[in-house]
Amino acid sequence: MKKQKIDTICVQAGYEAKNGAPRIAPIAQSTTYKYDNADELAELFDLKKEGHMYSRISNPTVAVLENKVAAMEGGIGALAVSAGQAATLLAILTICNCGEHLVALNNLYGGTFTLIGSTLKKFGIETTFVSAEDDDETIERAILPNTKLILAESLSNPGVEVLDIERFSALAHRNDLPLFVDNTFPTPVLLKPFDYGADIVIHSATKYLDGHATSVGGVIVDSGNFDWTRGKFPHLTEEDPNYHGLSYTKAFGKSAFITKARVVFVRDLGTLMTPFNAFLINLGTETLALRMERHSENALKVAQFLEQHPQIEWIHYPHLPSSPSYALAQKYLPKGAAGVLSAGIKGGLENTKKFINSLKLASLVVHVGDIRTHALHPASMTHRQLSAEDQLKAGIKPNMVRLSIGIEDIEDIVADLDQALQKSVI
């Protein structure tokens, strides 16, 4: 059959109903699975046979979502976990041991910044942060002999800077490193990082994939394209005594990475997604293509409205010609730039708080990427743990508001922002 388009994949992929079976993938609310033969179960333990044995490691409902997101991204396999944070953690741990190192862009989501810059540091994994504005030479100087990967966001949270994926994948590959891309904001509906050379994709499924603010979850997707056997990744090539000397690359070939992430780290850390969350997030993905179109359309209209508003000091939205990311957005996000934008309110912090407190339709919540319009103040919320200096390096200004534009009627959204801006003048 001809390769299906993303709108069709969102609706149809991940589950095929057998004759007489439920049309909708059921929730397999079961911790365990029955077998008739002891040898068969032993083969599952040895990874010689595929199948579910315990829901800390895999589950049929979770597998439906994994297959769906892998198909959406054009990857060979996926792993759905308890949160976006768990996805980033497990993806890194799969190829990065204590004493090793990664390079990351400094405009990452605050939680990711803290995870790698502080928590992983305590476990002996170091990170060097670089800026997308640095030239290639500067970034390559940050790559050390023990560096294992480069991590970046395709559309950064909250600065909405578009990543030049081709540049960073070329830079990673000429150093024999994989590029990990957090594709939470664009989702594969608007951008597929594998098409531009990324090797591993990470999602906070909590955002647009779910889309209704019901479930926290994360997904790792493997492109299957990175060659782990070129010398830098004994983590995947060498024999693992825990599986009787199995080498992941020899046993699983292109799926070595995503298999190890599951059979070592999800198994040991217990962070698989729950079946109920997988069911809800899968339901969300069914309308994702429609929603991303509306989010993008509404956000562009809001951005155009705010850009000419006298109470707005600055605004970033990749589809505004004034955005520093405009050219990259034309290349990587031609269908739309999703629903998130950031803006600076005139008059500093107090006016910014007044604006947020005056919103009526848009709510102040610690969330982004669902059907409702939201506002948040990154400096005092999502990026609060960063020092003032690191906040500024990450582009977080005290008067920055992050808006997540929903799918409500655009006239109602604009009217709400307008009345709150009028009240923001102190």
CA 359 to chain centre: 28
Using CB under 6 A, which residues numbered 155 to 174 contact ligand PLP?
157
DSSP secondary structure letter of residue 186? T
Q: Based on CB atoms, which residue is closest to ligand PLP, 85 or 249?
A: 85
DSSP secondary structure letter of residue 334? T
Q: How many residues bind ligand PLP (CB under 6 A)?
A: 14
Q: Based on CB atoms, which residue is closest to ligand PLP, 182 or 222?
A: 182
- Shortest separation between residue 88's beta carbon and ligand PLP, angstroms: 6
Stretch that binds ligand PLP, among 106-114, 167-175, 223-231, 411-419 (CB under 6 A): 106-114
Q: Based on CB atoms, which residue is closest to ligand PLP, 92 or 216?
A: 216
**DSSP strand pairing (218-222 vs 200-204):** antiparallel
Choice from 159, 186, 218, 336 touching ligand PLP (CB under 6 A): 218
Instruction: Determine how many CB atoms are found less than 10 A away from the CB of residue 360.
Output: 10
Instruction: Determine how many CB atoms are found less than 10 A away from the CB of residue 24.
Output: 13
Choice from 73, 153, 370, 416 touching ligand PLP (CB under 6 A): 153
Alpha carbon separation from 91 to 100, 188, 202, 251, 302 (Å, rounded): 14, 18, 8, 19, 35
- The residue nearest ligand PLP at its CB is 84
Task: Point out which residues pair with 67 in neighbouring strands.
Answer: none
Q: Based on CB atoms, which residue is closest to ligand PLP, 69 or 256?
A: 69
Q: Does 182 bind ligand PLP (CB under 6 A)?
A: yes
Q: Based on CB atoms, which residue is closest to ligand PLP, 153 or 161?
A: 153
Using CB under 6 A, which residues numbered 366 to 425 contact ligand PLP?
none
Q: Give the list of residues 6+ apart from residue 26 with CB closer than 8 angstroms, or none.
A: 61
Which residue type is seen at 39? D
Q: Does 113 bind ligand PLP (CB under 6 A)?
A: no
Q: Does 114 bind ligand PLP (CB under 6 A)?
A: no
Stretch that binds ligand PLP, among 107-115, 283-291, 303-311, 372-380 (CB under 6 A): 107-115
Q: Are the C-beta atoms of residues 423 and 360 closer than 8 Å to each other? A: no
Burial (0-12, 13-18, 19+ Cβ within 10 Å), 98: exposed
Q: Based on CB atoms, which residue is closest to ligand PLP, 21 or 364?
A: 364
Dihedral sign for Cα atoms in the order 48, 235, 187, 207: positive
What's the CA gap between 347 and 128, in Å, rounded?
A: 35
Lay out the site mask for ligand PLP across 219-258 (x = CB under 6 A, - = otherwise).
----------------------------------------
Q: Are the C-beta atoms of residues 57 and 261 closer than 8 Å to each other? A: no
- Name the token pair of 252: 């699983």
Stretch that binds ligand PLP, among 11-19, 62-70, 82-90, 387-395 (CB under 6 A): 82-90
What's the CA gap between 405 and 329, in Å, rounded?
A: 18
Lay out the site mask for ligand PLP across 190-209 (x = CB under 6 A, - = otherwise).
--------------x-x---
- Shortest separation between residue 305's beta carbon and ligand PLP, angstroms: 24
Q: Based on CB atoms, which residue is closest to ligand PLP, 204 or 373?
A: 204
Choice from 14, 74, 84, 224 touching ligand PLP (CB under 6 A): 84
Q: Is 256 helix (H, G, I), strand (E, B) or coil?
A: helix
- Shortest separation between residue 340's beta carbon and ligand PLP, angstroms: 9
**HEC-encoded secondary structure of 158-184:** CCCCECCHHHHHHHHHCCCCCEEEECC
Q: Does 271 bind ligand PLP (CB under 6 A)?
A: no
Choice from 85, 106, 249, 342 touching ligand PLP (CB under 6 A): 85
Instruction: Please give the full DSSP string across 113-154, using - where no structure is assigned.
Output: HHIIIIIHHHTT-EEEEE-TTS-HHHHHHH--TTEEEEEEES
Q: Are the C-beta atoms of residues 404 and 368 closer than 8 Å to each other? A: yes
Burial (0-12, 13-18, 19+ Cβ within 10 Å), 44: middle
Stretch that binds ligand PLP, among 108-116, 124-132, 238-246, 292-300 (CB under 6 A): 108-116
Q: Does 83 bind ligand PLP (CB under 6 A)?
A: yes
Choice from 112, 114, 127, 282 touching ligand PLP (CB under 6 A): 112
Which residues in this chain contact ligand PLP in the complex, by CB under 6 A? 83-85, 109, 111-112, 153, 157, 182, 184, 204, 206, 216, 218
